[in-house]
Structure 1
Amino acid sequence: MSAETVTISSLGAKGDGVAHGADGPIFVPFALPGETVSIARVKNAGTIMSFASTSPDRVTPPCKHFGPDGVGGTCGGCSMQHLAAAPYNAFKRQILIDALKSKGIDAPVAEIFEAHPHQRRRLVFSARRRDNDMVIGFMQAETHHVVVVEECPIASPGLVSRLDALQIIARAAGADHFRITVTETLTGLDISLDGLPGGLSDRARRDVTNAVLKLKDIARVSANGEIIIEPHKPLLDFDGARVVLPPGGFTQATLEAEAHMAALAAAHIGKAKKIADLFAGIGTFALRLARKMAVHAVESDEKAIKALDFAARNTQGLKPVTAERRDLFRRPLMTSEFKAFDAVVFDPPRAGAEVQCTELAKSQVKKVVAISCNPLTLARDLSILVAGGYRVDQVTPIDQFLWSPHVEAVAFLSKK
């Protein structure tokens, strides 16, 4: 370890300050461009010891767990609370612009759809036994230490107000360490306990069940995907279609971003009569779009596609919805199959949809909406479609993960 003073020139892709040393870049978490800082350096990583000058873009973090001096505190949940809103939003938008440019894509990039405090309806906590008790919170960066949180300005009030209930359930589970995924639904909290070696013991099942029966606003508790107790079906609403979230199932982190992405997709598709929704999940977009057009939804996860199908069959006023379970990584829709559709929406995992886009690029589908949580794989997929004759009309960055370097995007494509 060595001590030195550096000046920060830019922000890296993970939100770290970047200084240029004689032997290459130095990454300094929680430092901002224009700041001169004294650091303790190990290889190409620096830890702030003191400031010689600070940026006018530096603000006081709103959460006590982040640390009032804006150099990270202990909680590993956020990394950018020290940066003012305007440069923070510009940073996220630039991540997307840079990813597109890396693949030679020159397309209009809209202003970012901003995230705001108290919007997150889904969080993943860590639970760990400590001093004969269970603590729940977030992992301190680059450690196995769980930081107990008493507040969380990114989370919805419905999640923060039930931290006590989560601890009661964590104690009842009886394991030494595991993850707790909590989703706020219309009918209460859906709580998924994951990473439990061997699942829950019979005694733990009874203890969890008895604990939940004494608590309010708990829709369901599952362990390693198995339902332990379900006082209420955990329901989500997609424009009037009520979907039962499968145990451990995925949904978008904020309702506001989810609704905005769906509205963007609908606006680009316009008056299409039949569309394909690929990597459809539980129907986040398919069920909303089915208000105006027939939808063929394709998803590999059995529980997710069954939840989508059940909701479609039990919702009035939808156009026809068909649901197909299919692994699009191994068996993508072929070019000939796209003849049945006027438009395509796809929202793959972080790995993207490279194989599927290779087939889609050869089709004559007029309009495509690409939704992605990974700008790099999105840029790769868009480049495949562009090579096949598509034009990227616009890309809109979407922020769901406030005060983090993660950014999502919705891209509009068309082919004449």
Structure 2
Amino acid sequence: MNRPAEGAEVVRLAARGDGVTADGRFVVGAVPGDRVTADGAIWPGPDHLAPACQHFGLCGGCQLQHASDAILARFATARCLEPLARLGIRPGDVRPAHLSPPFSRRRASLRAARRGGRVELGFNEEGAHRLIDLAECPVLSPELFRLVAPLRQLLAMLMPERSVVGVTMALTDGGPDLLLSNLSAERLPVVEALTAFAAAQRLARLSVEGPLGVETVVAPAVPAVTLGGVAVTLPPGAFLQATADGEAALVAAVMESVGDARRVADLFAGLGTFALPLSRQARVLAVDGAGPALQALERAARSARRPVETQHRDLFRRPLTPDELGRFDAVLFDPPRAGAIAQSTALAQSRVPVVVAVSCNPATFARDAERLAAGDYALETLWPVAQFRWSTHVELVARFVRR
């Protein structure tokens, strides 16, 4: 049957992934190019695809599996530009959006729940607390997804009825790293079961988090990740970029932004995702309030003899001052989703020639960009990065230069 000529055309995607028609209606499940009739029926356009997963529409992990790559790229770019446009900020140059491929997620947080003697393991339903028990996942790397079924069996032996366990998994150079939260490993049979599971699944490490904190049960291999050519041992549950592909795109944009700077400050440095690549050409001060991650970076940099100095500091309460910032040729900041109000304000008052922002939240980035613009910084180049495949979550890198 041919598509009807009548009906409103979907012209864009809203921030949460709904299609928006030319007459202003929000339509769940529609993408640009579709037509929506008066009774709400969606007639698919050329960019409306069949979803890649049986759980799509329920699972909260993906919102845009029905959109083509062209639509995903347009969406990622618009998500970065729209908050800036509302503040009157326009980048001089916007690079093409980078999309990470399917089956590339190397870090994920799942949830396991035992109800009626059965364990369900997966992501939450979109906008609800109901758990989607994963039968497939075209987002997770195969090395991580293969753990889902055996982990479900393991937890069925260890979890009491009506309990919930958090599952944080990361793929390291030494194999999968698994952290189970709200699970006690005090009894010998539990320790033996976890140890046997780690051996059978070839884990690099298995840890549990309970009332006394995080405890490593077994670590058959070193759970290290390579950052900038340096092996960094991952603390249990530490932040790691979701995909190696997305990390590479972010690092490339940061390196281009920093250019030939010889003295660089990396604020909210974490494990050294950017500090270690930068240390190949510059002396780097890496600052963060997360002690375990910063200690891992310090040990790795020292072992590799990289020129990285670390400083443990809460940048929300004690941002680097304009005077402290003045000795650097470039400053990079990569805050959590809340942004960096205090630090961006101090940067705006500094004389740093180049400021590079990495953000996982376009809205709070726009707020920080507004402060930099008020301090006479121009947003020269912006790189949208969509490493969370089929998600509305978008990241970016932005290069600011003092006018």
In structure 2, what is the Cα distance between the partners aligned to 1:332 and 1:208? 46
Pair 1:321 & 2:305 matched = no
- The Cα shift of 1:56 comes to 2.5
Q: How does 1:365-384 map to 2 (within 5 A)?
A: 365-384=352-371
After superposition, the C-alpha distances for 1:358-415 in whole angstroms (9 at most, x for unaligned) are 1111111111110000011111111111111211111110011111111100001112
Going from structure 1 to structure 2, the CA distance change for 1:169 and 1:273 (only over 3 Å counts) comes to: farther
What is the aligned partner in structure 1 of residue 293 from structure 2?
A: 304
Unaligned runs of 5+ in 2: 1-6
- Mark the CA change 1:96 to 1:119 in structure 2 (over 3 Å): closer, same or farther: same
| 1:209-358 equivalences in 2 (<5 Å) | 209-224=194-209, 225-316=214-305, 318=306, 320-358=307-345
Residues 80-119 of structure 1 correspond to what in structure 2 (within 5 A)?
Answer: 80-107=64-91, 108-119=93-104
CA, structure 1 residues 213+408, in 2 after alignment: closer, same or farther (shift >3 Å)? closer
C-alpha separation between the residues in 1 aligned to 2:77 and 2:198? 46
Pick from 64, 75, 87: which aligns with 2:54?
A: 64
Query: How many Å separate the matches in 2 of 1:329 and 1:169?
Result: 41
**Residues 9 and 239 (structure 1), Cα distance of their counterparts in 2 relative to 1, 3 Å cut:** closer
Cα distance in structure 2, aligned partners of 1:128 and 1:60: 30
Residue aligned with 1:395, SS: strand
Indicate the residue corresponding to 2:35 in structure 1: 35
Contact 1:174 1:204 survives alignment (8 Å): no
* Contact 2:335–2:358 (CA under 8 A) maintained in structure 1: yes
**8 A Cα contact 2:262 2:282, kept in partner:** yes
What value does the CA root-mean-square deviation take over the aligned residues?
Answer: 2.2
In structure 2, the partner of 1:11 is: 13
Tell me the percent identity: 38
Which of 387, 396, 399 aligns to 1:400? It is 387
- Could you tell me how far 1:37 is from its partner in structure 2? 5.2
Greater CA drift, 285-294 or 146-155: 146-155
Structure 1 residues 385, 208: closer, same or farther in 2, change over 3 A? farther
Residues 250 and 281 of structure 1 are in contact (CA less than 8 Å); yes or no, is this contact kept in structure 2?
A: yes
Counterpart residue type for residue 28 of structure 1: V
Amino acid in the other structure paired with 2:164: H
Q: CA deviation at 1:65?
A: 2.4
Kept after mapping to 2: 8 A contact 1:168/1:211: no
After the TM superposition, which of the residue ranges 321-330 and 10-19 deviates more from structure 2? 10-19
Correspondences of 1:102-251 after superposition (within 5 Å): 102-107=86-91, 108-175=93-160, 176-194=163-181, 196=182, 199-202=184-187, 205-224=190-209, 225-251=214-240
Q: Helix, strand or coil: the match of 2:99?
A: coil
Change (3 A) 1:94 1:159: same
Task: Map Cα deviations across residues 226-264 of structure 1 (whole Å, 9 max, x no partner).
Answer: 322222221000122111111110010011111221122
Q: Aligned with 1:164: secondary structure?
A: helix
One-letter amino acid of the structure 2 residue matched with residue 321 of structure 1 = V
Once the two structures are superposed, what CA deviation does each residue of 1:304-341 show, in whole Å capped at 9, x if it has no partner?
1111111111114x2x2111110000000011101221
Specify the code of the residue in structure 1 equivalent to 2:89. Answer: I
Aligned residue pair count = 389
Amino acid at match of 1:86: A
Alpha-carbon distance, 1:131 to partner: 2.9
Q: How far apart, CA to CA, are the structure 2 residues paired with 1:362 and 1:303? A: 31
Q: d(CA) in 2 for partners of 1:142 and 1:37?
A: 26
Q: What is the rounded CA distance, in whole Å, between the counterparts of 1:31 and 1:37 in structure 2?
A: 12
- Tell me if structure 1 keeps the 8 A contact 2:147–2:201: no
When residues 172 and 235 of structure 1 are mapped into structure 2, their CA distance, relative to the original with a 3 A threshold, is: farther
- Aligned AA (1:125): L
> 78-87 vs 223-232, which deviates more?
223-232
Deviates more, 1:144-153 or 1:273-282: 144-153
Q: Distance in 2 between matches of 1:400 and 1:376?
A: 18
Distance 1:57 1:203 in 2: 55
TM value normalised by structure 1: 0.87
- Please say if residues 165 and 215 of structure 1, whose CA atoms lie closer than 8 Å, have aligned partners that are also in contact: no
Instruction: Give me the whole-angstrom Cα distance separating, in 2, the residues matched to 1:300 and 1:172.
Output: 38
Distance 1:252 1:167 in 2: 25
CA contact (8 A) 1:181 1:192 kept: yes
In the alignment, is residue 55 of structure 1 matched against residue 42 of structure 2? no
1:122-163 C-alpha deviation (Å, 9 max, x unpaired)? 112110113313221122223333222222112212112222
Cα distance, 1:223 vs. partner? Answer: 2.0
Question: Unaligned regions of 5+ residues in structure 1, if any?
Answer: 40-47, 67-71
- What are the Cα deviations for residues 188-245 of structure 1, in whole angstroms up to 9, with x where unaligned? 1111123x1x744535742543333541321112222332222222100012211111
Please say if residues 238 and 288 of structure 1, whose CA atoms lie closer than 8 Å, have aligned partners that are also in contact: yes
**Contact 1:97–1:109 (8 Å) recurs in 2:** no
Residue aligned with 1:272, SS: coil
The amino acid that maps onto 1:271 is D
